[in-house]
Amino acid sequence: MLTLRPLPALSDNYIWTLAGADGRCIVVDPGEAAPVEAAAAEGLRPVAILLTHHHPDHIGGAARLRERFAIPCHAPVDPRIDCASHRVGEGDVIAIPELGTAFTTIEVHGHTSSHVAFHGAGVVFCGDTLFSLGCGRMFEGTPAQMLASLDRLAALPGATSVCCGHEYTLANAAFASRVDPDNADLQAAIARARQARERGKPSLPTTIADECASNPFLRVDTAAVRAAITDHEGAPPASRADAFAALRRWKDGFRA
Q: Please identify every residue annotated as catalytic.
A: 53, 55, 57-58, 109, 128, 166
**Binding positions for Zn ion, 172-231, rule CB under 5 A:** none
Strand order in the sheet with 45-50: 3-9, 13-19, 24-28, 45-50, 73-76, 86-88
- Interface segment toward Zn ion; rule CB under 5 A; list 30-38, 126-134, 144-152, 209-217: 126-134
CB of 89 to Zn ion, least distance (A): 19
Confirm or reject binding of residue 29 to Zn ion (CB under 5 A): no
CA 216, CA 25: separation in Å to the nearest integer? 33
* Contact with Fe ion (CB under 5 A) among 107, 128, 167, 210: 128
CB of 110 to Zn ion, least distance (A): 11
DSSP 8-class letter at 246: H
- Interface segment toward Zn ion; rule CB under 5 A; list 55-63, 182-190, 198-206, 217-225: 55-63
**Nearer CB in complex with Fe ion: 16/220:** 16
**Binding positions for Fe ion, 170-189, rule CB under 5 A:** none
CB of 55 to Fe ion, least distance (A): 5
Confirm or reject binding of residue 29 to Fe ion (CB under 5 A): no
* Contact with Zn ion (CB under 5 A) among 29, 32, 128, 180: 128
CB of 140 to Fe ion, least distance (A): 13
Confirm or reject binding of residue 248 to Zn ion (CB under 5 A): no
- Interface segment toward Fe ion; rule CB under 5 A; list 72-80, 161-169, 170-178, 192-200: 161-169
Confirm or reject binding of residue 152 to Zn ion (CB under 5 A): no
CB proximity list for 132: less than 8 A, separation 6 or greater: 162, 164, 168, 169, 172, 189, 193, 203, 204, 206, 210, 211, 215
Confirm or reject binding of residue 55 to Zn ion (CB under 5 A): yes
Coil, helix or strand for 7?
A: strand
Binding mask 209-238 for Fe ion (x = CB under 5 A): ------------------------------
**Nearer CB in complex with Zn ion: 128/210:** 128
Closest CA to 59 of 29, 15, 27, 89: 29
- Each residue of 34-65: b (16+ CB within 10 Å) or e? ebbbebbeeebebbbbbbbbbbebbbbbbbbb
Strand bridging mode 134-135 / 130-131 = antiparallel
Helices 240-252 & 143-154 angle (0-180, nearest 10): 100
Closest CA to 48 of 101, 96, 108: 96
Which residues are near Zn ion by CB under 5 A? 55, 128
